[in-house]
Amino acid sequence: MGRIGGFLGGTVLTGSLAYLTFRHLKINTRTHSASLRTSRQIADSILLPKHIPKKPEPKLERPSFVETLKDTWNWEVEKIVRRMQKWDMRTVREEVEETVGNVVEKLKRQF
Indicate if the alpha-carbon torsion angle 75, 77, 79, 85 is positive or negative: negative
C-alpha distance from residue 37 to each of 24, 26, 47, 81 (Å): 20, 16, 15, 61
Instruction: Express as a percent the part of the chain with pLDDT over 70.
Output: 98
Q: What is the pLDDT of residue 78?
A: 95
Instruction: Write down the pLDDT at residue 1.
Output: 65
- pTM (2 d.p.): 0.39
62-75: pLDDT as tens digits? 678 888 889 899 99
* pLDDT tens for each residue of 78-109: 999 998 888 888 888 899 999 999 999 988 88
